[in-house]
Chain A
Amino acid sequence: MTDAPLLELRDLRVSYRKRAGLGLRTTSFDAVKGATLTIRPGETLGLVGESGSGKSSIANTVLGLIAPAAGTMRFRGTDLAALKARYPSGLRKDIQAVFQDPFSSLNPAMTVEDIVTEPLRVHTNMTRAERRARAVDLLAMVSLSEEHLNRHPHQFSGGQRQRIAIASALALEPKLVVLDEPVSALDVSTQNQIINLLYDRRDALGIAYLLIAHDLALVHHISDRIAVMYLGHIVEEGPADRVYTAPAHPYTRALLDAVPDLDPAQQRARRARRRQLAPQGTQRHAETGCPYSNRCAQVMPRCRSDAPPAYAVPGGGTAHCFLLDPGANGAGHASDRKEPALP
C-alpha cells in the first residue's frame, strides 16, 4: 500500500444551512466536523456509523453534490474542495455512485438503455451504436441481457434494478465508486448476489469503493479498511480485521455489540455490555471534549474537557480516545501535553 492515495480527505467539514423563523435568518449545522480519510487505488474503505453520523454527507461531498464548508478533498492530486464550479469532466467521470434504494434511484421514465448509457452520453463522444454495444456488454457483466435494453425500471425486481444501477455506475470505468448502503434495501438472498458482483468488478477493474453501510458484518466482509463515524467525527479507523476483531474505541465496541450473535451466551454478554453503556436521558452530543463522552461507559474527567487526538492502535489504524494515550495509561487525568486541538 505504497501507492499515492486516490482520494484524500483532510479535516473535511460539511455544514447545512437551515432557515429559521421567517426564513430571513439562517442557522447552520455541521454534519461532518473535520473528517480525515484516505482511499488508495483499488481499495475498499467501509464507512460505518449510526444514522445522522454524517456518512452520507461525506458521500454527497465526495460526489460533488454538496460543497464542503472547510478542509481539502484531493482526488488524484486535485483538490476538489477548492473547485468553485462543477468537477472537470475528466475527474468527474472517475467518481460514480450506487445508491441505497434501487426503486427510487432509477428514473422511471427512462429505458434501461438510456439509464446505462446516460454517463457515456454526457462524458464521451461515443455514437449511439457504440453506446448501445457498450450497454449490452455492461448488462452482460451484471447478468442481464440485450433483451432488457428497451424495458423500463418498473419491469424489474429490486436485485435486477440494483444491477442496472451498478452497470450504469461502471459504464465509464470509474476509479472510485461511492456505494451508499448498496444492499440494505434488498432482501437477504439478493444481497449476496450484489455483494459478489461488486467484489468481482473490483477485482476485475481495480475500482476503489467508498462503502457506506451500517451493517458492520457486511462492511467487514467486503472492506480492506473501516472508518467509524460518530456524530460528524471519525472516531476510529484501521484495517478491517483489526477494527472488527479488536475495536479500540468504546463506540466501535458498542456498534459491534449491537450486532446480534447466534450464540446465546455471546448474545447475553453483548446485551449486558450494551446495557451499561449509554446513560439514559443525556444529550447525545457532548458540547466540549470527546463527542462520545456523554454515552461512554469508560468516560474519564479529561474526556469532558479535551477533544482526544488520533492515537495509533496496535495492529494498525488510529482511534480518537484517551484510553489509548500511552502517557496517561487510562489514569483519567489530563496530561500536560498540549493536545492538537481538533475543531
Chain B
Amino acid sequence: MLRLIVQRVLALVPLLFLVSVLTFSFTSLLPGDPADLIVGQQGTPEQYALVRHRLGLDQPLVERYAHWVEHAARGDLGTSFFNSVKVSDAVMQRLPVTASLTAVAALIAIAVGLAAGIAAALRPGSAVDRIATLGATFGQAIPNFWFGLLLAAIFAVGLRWFPATGFTPISTSVGGWLASVALPAIALGFASSAAIARQVRSAMVGVLQQDYIRAARAQGLSSRRVIFRHALKNALVPVVAVLSFQITVLLGGALIVEQVFAINGLGTLAITAVRQQDIPMIQGIVLVMVAIVVVVQLATDLLYGFLNPKARPS
C-alpha cells in the first residue's frame, strides 16, 4: 500500500508540469490583448507599449513561462492585471466557498447515490428499483442551473426556508453556512447522485449474483453483513472510478451553480477574469482547480488500491 502511495505521488510531478505548460500556453493563445483593454480606445501607442512592458507582455513566451513557474513554485501566482490584487490572495479568499459547495454536493451525491443504488440493487425490478431508476434518469437529464432555479423558487422564494442568494462562511455561523450552501449543493449534487446511483446499482446487482455472496449467505451471515461487508466493498471498485470523475464534474458545475445563487466563489472570479483577459488570474485559478482535481484523483487511486487487492503492486 505504501509503495502504491509513493508511486502515485511521484507520478504527479510530470503531470503538474504538463498542466502548467498547457494552461500557460492556452491563456497566452487567447485572441485579443489585455493591454488593449486596460489602455482603452483613447490610449496612445506609447501608453500601450508602457502597459505591455509593465505587464511583461513584451517578453518572449518562454521567458514569461519560466518567470511564472519560478514564482508559482514559491507560491506566488502573480498579480491581477487590473486591480493589483495578488492572485493567490484572491483565489484563497474564494476557494473555501467553492470547496465547501463542492464538498457538500459530493457528500449528498455519495449518500443519495449509494442509498438509492443499493436499495434498487437489492430487489431488481421492484417498485423501489423503478422509482430509483426513474429518479436517476431525471437527475441526469435536468441541467443543474435549471434545477437550482427551481429549488430557489420553491424553497427560498416560496417557502422561505433558505436564503435565495449569498454565502455565509462556516466561521461566521455553522447553521447559516449550512442554510446558504444547502440549495446550491443539492442542485449541484443531484445529477452526480444519479450517476453514482446507476453505477452502484449495476455493480451491486453483478456482485450479488457472485458465488461468494451465496457462499457468505450459506455460512449463515446476516443480510446486513453480506451486503455491507461482502458485497459493497467489491461493488465500490467500479463506483470509485465514477466518483472521481463526478467530483471533477461537480467542481466545474459549481462555477455555474454559483452564478445562479449569486455566490462569490471561484466561478465568479474566473468568469470576471476571463472577460477581462486577466491572464495571471486565469492561470492561477486553473492551476488551483487542476491541483484539486489531481489530489482527488490521487485519493481515488489509493481508495481503488484499498478496495481491490489486485490493483496493488506486489
Contact = CB atoms under 8 A, between A and B. Distances in A.
Interface in A11-29: 19, 23
Given A104-B212, A109-B307, A109-B308, A122 B221 contact: yes
Contacts of A60: 214
B278 to A, nearest CB: 49
A107 B230 contact: yes
Contacts of B225: 122
A105 B215 CA distance: 6
A63 B234 contact: no
B233 A109 contact: yes
Contacts of A108: 212, 234, 308-310
Contact of B234 (A96, A109, A154): A109
A108 B215 CA distance: 13
Interface string B202-213: 000000001110
Nearest to A111: B309
Contact of A89 (B125, B210, B220, B307): B220
Contacts of B308: 108-109
Contact of B211 (A63, A89, A101, A110): A101
A86 B218 contact: no
- Taking residues whose C-beta sits less than 8 angstroms from the other chain, chain A's interface range is 35 or more
A165 B215 contact: yes
Interface string B161-203: 0000000000000000000000000000000000000000000
A244 interface: no
Interface string A90-103: 00110111011100
B212 to A, nearest CB: 4
A93 B221 CA distance: 10
Nearest to B314: A155
Contacts of A328: none
A154 B310 contact: yes
A118 interface: yes
A133 B310 CA distance: 26
B220 A123 contact: yes
A104 B310 CA distance: 15
A97 B218 CA distance: 6
A115 to B, nearest CB: 9
Contacts, number: 75
A19 B218 contact: no
Counting contact residues on chain B (CB < 8 A from A), the size range is: 20 to 34
A202 B225 CA distance: 30
A294 interface: no
A168 B220 CA distance: 12
Nearest to B234: A109
Contact of A105 (B212, B233, B234, B310): B212
A93 B220 CA distance: 7
Contacts of A65: 214, 217-218
B234 A19 contact: no
Given A122-B225, A152-B309, A87 B220 contact: yes
B33 to A, nearest CB: 57
B211 A154 contact: no
A139 B295 CA distance: 41
Most chain-A Cβ atoms within 10 A of its Cβ — which of B211, B216, B307?
A: B211
Nearest to B312: A152
Interface of B: 125, 210-212, 214-222, 225, 230, 233-234, 307-310, 314
22 contacts: A19-B125, A23-B125, A63-B218, A64-B218, A64-B220, A86-B222, A92-B220, A96-B219, A97-B219, A100-B211, A104-B210, A104-B211, A104-B212, A106-B215, A107-B212, A107-B234, A108-B309, A109-B307, A118-B219, A155-B314, A168-B215, A168-B219
Nearest 7 pairs of A and B residues by beta carbon: A92-B220, A152-B309, A105-B211, A104-B211, A97-B218, A107-B212, A63-B218
Given A97-B218, A107-B234, A108-B308, 15 more contacts: A63-B218, A64-B217, A64-B220, A96-B218, A99-B214, A101-B211, A104-B211, A104-B212, A105-B212, A105-B214, A107-B230, A119-B219, A119-B220, A123-B220, A178-B218
